[in-house]
Amino acid sequence: MKYENYIKVEFPSKSANEGFARSAAGVFASQLDPTMEELGDIKTAVSEAVTNAIVHAYPDTIGKVSMRCRILEGNRLEIVIRDWGRGIEDVERARKPLFTTGGEERSGMGFTIMESFMDRLQVRSHPGEGTTVTMVRVLPKKSRER
Amino acid sequence: MTIKPEYREGCLRLSFQGELDHHSAEKALREAEGIIDRYLPKNCILDLSGLSFMDSSGIAVILRIHRRMAETGGRLLVDRPADQARRVLDAAGLNRIVPIREIKETVQ
Ligand SMILES: Nc1ncnc2c1ncn2[C@@H]1O[C@H](COP(=O)(O)OP(=O)(O)OP(=O)(O)O)[C@@H](O)[C@H]1O
Ligand SMILES: [Mg+2]
């Protein structure tokens, strides 16, 4: 696919990196001149996907998480968050609102939030191999004041 | 993430400031529950106007505080969430469980 720019970062699944990942995605997205609301949506969706990798993919270990952000043709921002952890048995069920395997600390709303804040959400996962979450958000060109 | 408590006549106001995510959630919850247990207020107001970021980890924190208040016969209100937090609360449909007072209802 044709892209105009990209970044790729990799970090261990430590919660201190959640803030770093969403901020980095936000700074990268700034090239597309997003509104405050768009920027908030993007950072939130990234935070959800990265937190899932940290909490669910590697429940008892520290593993590798990667994030790639790309600017595609047509003012589209694509973000791919990947882990090599436990994987998801039934993706369709995992994406349903309120579904969680995380007990009281989780609300089961992560995928629902990603879905409502981004234009596209794709989740690919294989148990024992890991999970790849791909999200796309179109950031329409802002019309200058007429 | 810091919590500023203010107690007056049965009402406890907890002002959350900073970023409420998975990284900060556990400590924030422990702190909030500790303050609630100390005052056992009739009403608890969670002031979210100072939150610069919140995600679903924050939703779980609010639900836990809501339950703690219900256990002691008290009530919880979420007050003036900042814009980004407001969008997360909306996407999660939290207002079906906990009442939310908006900024525009309180600003003169
Ligand atoms: N990267 C991942 N690796 C393994 N399992 C995952 C991963 N991401 C999500 N899951 C599974 O999908 C479920 C739903 O995820 P979702 O983010 O919607 O909710 P949650 O993380 O449980 O709660 P919340 O995001 O509200 O804190 C999780 O409980 C977990 O079982
Ligand atoms: Mg989640």
For A133, the domain range is 3-138
Contacts of A43 in chain B (CB under 8 A): 53, 84
Share of chain A above pLDDT 90, in %: 92
Residue showing tokens 């990667």: A66
Amino acid, single-letter form, for residue A106? R
- Ligand 2 centroid to Cα of residue B6, in Å, is 32
Q: Does residue B75 register a pLDDT over 60?
A: yes
- Count of structural domains, chain A: 1
Instruction: Write out residues 18-57 of B within 8 Å (CB-CB) of A.
Output: 19, 21-23, 25-26, 53, 55-57
Question: Within 13 A of B59's CA, how many CA atoms are on the CB side?
Answer: 26
- Regarding the beta carbon of B63 and ligand 1, being less than 6 Å apart is answered no
Q: Nearest-CA neighbor of B53 among A145, A21, A8?
A: A21
Task: Quickly list H helices, chain B.
Answer: 22-39, 56-71, 83-92, 103-106
Domain presence at residue A145? no
Does A125 map to a domain?
A: yes
Report the pLDDT value the prediction gives residue B105, as an integer from 0 to 100. Answer: 61
Complex ipTM, two decimals?
Answer: 0.93
DSSP three-state, residue A21: helix
Residue B40 CB: number of other CB atoms within 10 A?
Answer: 12
Q: Which pLDDT belongs to residue A142? A: 81
Domains and CATH numbers, chain B: 2-101 (3.30.750.24)
| Residue A1: exposure state from Cβ atoms within 10 A (0-12, 13-18, ≥19) | exposed
Q: For B6-15, write each residue's pLDDT tens digit.
A: 999 999 999 9
Residue A126 domain-assigned?
yes
| CATH code at position A51 | 3.30.565.10
Where residue A143 falls among pLDDT bands split at 50, 70, 90? confident
pLDDT in tens, A45-97: 999 999 999 999 999 999 999 999 999 999 999 999 999 999 999 999 999 99
Nearest to B56 among A15, A22, A48 (CB): A48
Q: Is residue A144 part of a domain?
A: no
- Judge whether A81 and A47 are in contact, CB under 8 Å: no
- Residue A109, in any domain of the structure: yes
